[in-house]
Chains A and B, each alone.
Chain A
């Protein structure tokens, strides 16, 4: 990972970008952002236009205000999730030789309505709150085991000790993959997280490895179903047709890219906040029933995903001229810190009157795994507070962050009295 991050090159400014909407911000390498991401976001809310265009990373819009994000997320006709149009991808794939290995497609995250619903609807029930609640006890057990390993040490690097392995273990459990695949998937998560080249061929290769590692289990469950998600996927229909092996591999890959590093970073941001706020730890230890409110407020205060979109048409959006094929980022971390939506937005407040955040986005693509994510985060905080004594950041080893589509916590050194 680069220590002294250099900015990506600035591209020339297109003619429709006026000075009043231009703001130079590199969402991958801005130094202040990498030093303390959510502090820099507050600065953007105060000093940058609510919708601006930056010349970095090839040039793109940044939707910062809550209104802009909420509106764009629900206007899928203008703000397309097909960053490369679906028809174009199909055309390229159809040129490949018939015997080349299948290329995984993470449907429905990269599809627009109406095709989007065709791939989302069949798996909606699999992630419903009722289905996910059944996993609670096994998640608690996995969290407890990881924490037991560190509690006597008095210190840990939390990301590698807990935040990274836990979601991988839950993923194996959920899909019904053998525990022996833990090392394989941990390595794949690491490769996915540290990939910097943006090379499409390499990205496809990684997703093929994700699919390869689950193929045996997928085939085994077809003939001998068990109580797991892969078995369940063999029973669903997509648009009236039984799901194929390729469909199931695609869903497995979707869960890998959407459900692992997201939960991991959520845990990182949340536990960092707890480490910096011993008073909050006391309050939650004294009354654990407050932890679910804390989970919500931590998601709001440290919203960390930035989904990309492509403009499907010319539009004047929030008073700003945008052109077809411009790229736009739903900067959800800005939306949830917007003081117009959340008064005194920097303050962590356990009860904001039930006002919902959009850390899981809004509109048709709203996170399908949000119940699972909430359950994982909630249980993790409960077990951390129950098993560890009062913990704090290691003052010698500052927290390291990364930017991009997910604001990541790379290293989080904690310490406590044994």
Chain B
């Protein structure tokens, strides 16, 4: 599973980070640091919750079977 983030539209409100600090690292200004990341095994549910928590809807989850 992958996380993909439309970084340009992140407004820096850290709702994703509130779900998981390791999956959704922030820069010092509180904006999301990453554009894409692999989800470590066992963290899939956290990744989905983090994506759902984004008020801007800029986080997409890419399931493995989508490739």
| A residues adjacent to B (C-beta < 8 A) | 74, 121, 124-125, 127-130, 353-358, 360, 362-364, 366-367, 370-371
Known: A121-B29, A124-B29, A128-B29. A354 touches B14 (CB 8 A): no
Q: In the complex the two chains form, is B56's CB within 8 Å of A362's CB? A: yes
Contact partner of A128 (CB less than 8 A), chosen from B18, B28, B53, is B28
Chain A residue numbers with a CB within 8 Å of B17 are 129
Contact with A along B14-36 (1 / 0, CB 8 A): 11011100000010111100000
Task: Name the distance in Å between A123's Cβ and chain B's nearest Cβ.
Answer: 9
Contact partner of A364 (CB less than 8 A), chosen from B11, B15, B52, B53, is B11
Task: Name the distance in Å between A300's Cβ and chain B's nearest Cβ.
Answer: 11
| B residues adjacent to A (C-beta < 8 A) | 9, 11-15, 17-19, 26, 28-31, 49, 52-56
Q: In the complex the two chains form, is A129's CB within 8 Å of B14's CB? A: yes
Q: In the complex the two chains form, is B53's CB within 8 Å of A354's CB? A: yes
Q: In the complex the two chains form, is A371's CB within 8 Å of B52's CB? A: no
Contact partner of A124 (CB less than 8 A), chosen from B9, B12, B15, B18, is B12
Chain A residue numbers with a CB within 8 Å of B30 are 124-125, 127-130, 371
Find the B residue at minimum CB distance from A129: B14
Chain A residue numbers with a CB within 8 Å of B15 are 356
Chain A residue numbers with a CB within 8 Å of B13 are 360, 366-367, 370-371
Contact partner of B14 (CB less than 8 A), chosen from A74, A128, A364, is A128
Find the B residue at minimum CB distance from A362: B55
Find the A residue at minimum CB distance from B21: A129
Chain A residue numbers with a CB within 8 Å of B28 are 125, 128, 130
Q: In the complex the two chains form, is A366's CB within 8 Å of B53's CB? A: no
List, sorted by A's number, 12 A–B pairs whose CB atoms are closer than 8 Å: A74-B9, A124-B29, A127-B30, A128-B28, A128-B29, A129-B17, A129-B26, A354-B52, A355-B52, A358-B55, A363-B11, A371-B30
Task: Name the distance in Å between A259's Cβ and chain B's nearest Cβ.
Answer: 15
Task: Name the distance in Å between A330's Cβ and chain B's nearest Cβ.
Answer: 14
Chain B residue numbers with a CB within 8 Å of A356 are 15, 52-55
User: A283 vs B19: C-alpha distance in the bound complex, in angstroms?
Assistant: 23
Q: In the complex the two chains form, is B55's CB within 8 Å of A366's CB? A: yes
User: A352 vs B34: C-alpha distance in the bound complex, in angstroms?
Assistant: 27
Find the B residue at minimum CB distance from A374: B18
Chain B residue numbers with a CB within 8 Å of A363 are 11, 56
Find the B residue at minimum CB distance from A364: B11
Q: In the complex the two chains form, is B11's CB within 8 Å of A354's CB? A: no
Find the B residue at minimum CB distance from A126: B29
Contact partner of A354 (CB less than 8 A), chosen from B19, B26, B56, is B19
Chain B residue numbers with a CB within 8 Å of A74 are 9, 56
Task: Name the distance in Å between A209's Cβ and chain B's nearest Cβ.
Answer: 31
Q: Which of B19, B29, B31, B54 has the most CB of A within 10 A?
A: B29
Q: In the complex the two chains form, is B55's CB within 8 Å of A124's CB? A: no
User: A355 vs B15: C-alpha distance in the bound complex, in angstroms?
Assistant: 11
Chain B residue numbers with a CB within 8 Å of A129 are 14, 17-18, 26, 30
Contact partner of B11 (CB less than 8 A), chosen from A127, A128, A366, A371, is A366
Q: In the complex the two chains form, is B55's CB within 8 Å of A125's CB? A: no
Chain B residue numbers with a CB within 8 Å of A358 are 55
